Amino acid sequence: MTEIKMEEMIRDTAEKVFTGISMPGESFVFDQELWDKATDAGFTAALASEVQGGLGLTAVEAFASVRVAAARAVALPLGETILVNWLLSLSGLPVEKGPCGVSLPATISQTVSVPFGRTLSALVVIEPEANGGTLALYRPVTGCWKLGNNIADEPRDFVVSDLGHPETVRTLPLSPDTVLSTMAMLRAVQSAAATASVLTMSLSYCNERVQFGRSLSKFQAIQHQLAQLAAEVSAATAAADIALAAFSQVFDEPDVFATQVAAAKVRTAEAATRAAAIAHQVHGAMGFSGEYALHPLTRRLWSWRDEEGSEAYWADRLGREIGKQAPKYVWPYLTSMDFVHRESQE
């Protein structure tokens, strides 16, 4: 089966699993039944190796379900668990069925909170090592968390007590910085999917809403705004696609992968800002209602653009990589997608 066909099949399955799921409200409640459905469908083990109980899919295929979940503002640590199970399989450990999270050193990650911490059955802590990193697997308990939320009211909790002894410690063929890049890739993919959903919602609203005897979509000013929104969706989707495609280089060329992710994180963050602004403008007062379905999407966009490294953080990293190029190679570097580094000889 080709990658495209597999991706489509996973998307179709995810649409069925998440069909009828209402947009989350102001307070988070973990939906165990929905989580079980996602697990039974194989989503959470999609990226892990088959030897360790996973499906061994490509990143494009494995994150197809994440795109659907993000477009519907599903409040589950789906993407985080996909990545953790992949990390576990790299360390020779079997995949987990429960929700999982990852904690990175504060010196590596700008985000020290753990997504959905209070719901996790497994937490992996990544530490640097000479030739990569180490992975320590913990079983967190309720009392170890200080509860918090991002502006989308998704849990972002802090470890405030000793986690005790890890269940196991293994070597990891990736550095904590590369793990951060994979988490940033996740946010870029989620942001692109949510931005596309915002466009769909805005188009539907403008076609249905009648003002001065005609639908909003007939007004030229609205058409211009929707065209701008569509352009942002195209750019964000392409950026996320490129980052997912670069995932195959995570072992052999981790710096190249990180550069691709940096570009994707910057572009999807820009799109998130512009798309949310346009969507709320065309919706008017309706878009600011907490009960309206646009709200959970735009608040996630505002949250995800800053998580796992802000737009400024990744723009700085991208700029530093560009600055390493010899002057005559800067333009070829920017217009290529392989990001081959060419040191200046001057």
Q: What is the pLDDT of residues 47-96, one digit of tens each?
A: 999 999 999 999 999 999 999 999 999 999 999 999 999 999 999 999 99
Domain spans of the chain? 3-174, 177-335
Q: pLDDT category, 22, cuts 50, 70, 90? A: low
Q: What pLDDT is recorded for position 340?
A: 58
pLDDT digits (tens, 9 = 90+) for 141-189: 888 999 999 999 999 999 988 888 999 999 999 999 999 999 999 999 9
Region 290-305 average pLDDT: 90
CATH 3.40.1710.10 holds for 3-174 = no
What H or E segment, with its residue span, contains residue 293?
none
Contact status, residue 102 vs residue 80, Cβ threshold 8 Å: yes
Instruction: Sort 51 into a burial class: Cβ within 10 Å, 0-12 / 13-18 / 19+.
Output: exposed
CATH 3.30.420.40 holds for 177-335 = no
Which range is least confidently modeled, 62-66, 299-303, 329-333? 329-333
Contact status, residue 242 vs residue 259, Cβ threshold 8 Å: no
pLDDT score of 122 more than 90: yes
Q: pLDDT category, 294, cuts 50, 70, 90? A: very high
Q: Which ranges of 159-219 does DSSP label H, i.e. alpha helix?
A: 176-208
Q: pLDDT category, 344, cuts 50, 70, 90? A: very low
Q: Which ranges of 2-109 does DSSP label H, i.e. alpha helix?
A: 3-17, 32-40, 59-62, 64-71, 78-90
Q: pLDDT category, 302, cuts 50, 70, 90? A: very high
Region 8-17 average pLDDT: 96
| Summary mean pLDDT of the chain | 91
Q: Report DSSP state, residue 324.
A: T
Q: What pLDDT is recorded for position 287?
A: 76
CB burial string 134-147: b at 16+ within 10 A, e below: bbbbbebeeebbee
Q: What pLDDT is recorded for position 346?
A: 42
What percentage of residues in the chain have a pLDDT greater than 90?
A: 76
Which range is least confidently modeled, 188-192, 283-287, 320-324? 283-287
The residue among 215, 240, 228 whose CA lies nearest residue 274 is 228
Which range is least confidently modeled, 85-94, 118-127, 223-232, 284-293? 284-293
pLDDT score of 24 more than 80: no
Q: What pLDDT is recorded for position 345?
A: 39
Q: What pLDDT is recorded for position 216?
A: 85
Region 270-296 average pLDDT: 89
Contact status, residue 301 vs residue 279, Cβ threshold 8 Å: no
Query: Over the Cα atoms of the chain, what is R_g?
Result: 20
